[in-house]
Amino acid sequence: DTAVSQTPKYLVTQMGNDKSIKCEQNLGHDTMYWYKQDSKKFLKIMFSYNNKELIINETVPNRFSPKSPDKAHLNLHINSLELGDSAVYFCASSQGSGTVDHPSSYEQYFGPGTRLTVT
């Protein structure tokens, strides 16, 4: 009963290729996120969707494009992969986008991560 799942777990590819990472959550949450964790373990948000609507779009190269076909799925497509894209990518979800009146909606649950290696 995996709450937030990602595929693939490992992805090794060459520079210039295009790849996708898929994420699914079965928690019934409305909001999903993509994070990037670099080699120094710094975790930074990339995107978030609330009910299929883009809420957060951090300054990331436009080679990265998220897609949310429904509120249970959020995929990440990366074009023209570069060496610097090597990292662990985490998907996460939360009940809502968070309000002080509903603190439980802040809780973000992370998937197991996808380790992307670009050679």
Residues that bind other proteins (CB under 8 A): 31, 33, 40-45, 48, 50, 55-56, 90, 94, 96-100, 103, 106-113
Q: How far is the CB of 31 from other proteins (least distance, A)?
A: 6
Output DSSP code: residue 106.
G
Q: Which is nearer to other proteins, 12 or 15 (CB)?
A: 12
Say how far apart CA 119 and CA 23 lie, in whole Å: 24
Say how far apart CA 33 and CA 112 lie, in whole Å: 13
- Decide: helix, strand or coil at residue 16: coil
Q: Which is nearer to other proteins, 63 or 102 (CB)?
A: 102
Q: How far is the CB of 66 from other proteins (least distance, A)?
A: 14
Q: How far is the CB of 7 from other proteins (least distance, A)?
A: 14
Q: How far is the CB of 112 from other proteins (least distance, A)?
A: 5
Contact (CB, 8 A) for 110 and 6: no
- Decide: helix, strand or coil at residue 105: helix
What six digits make up the tokens of 16?
Answer: 């210039």
Q: Which is nearer to other proteins, 75 or 108 (CB)?
A: 108
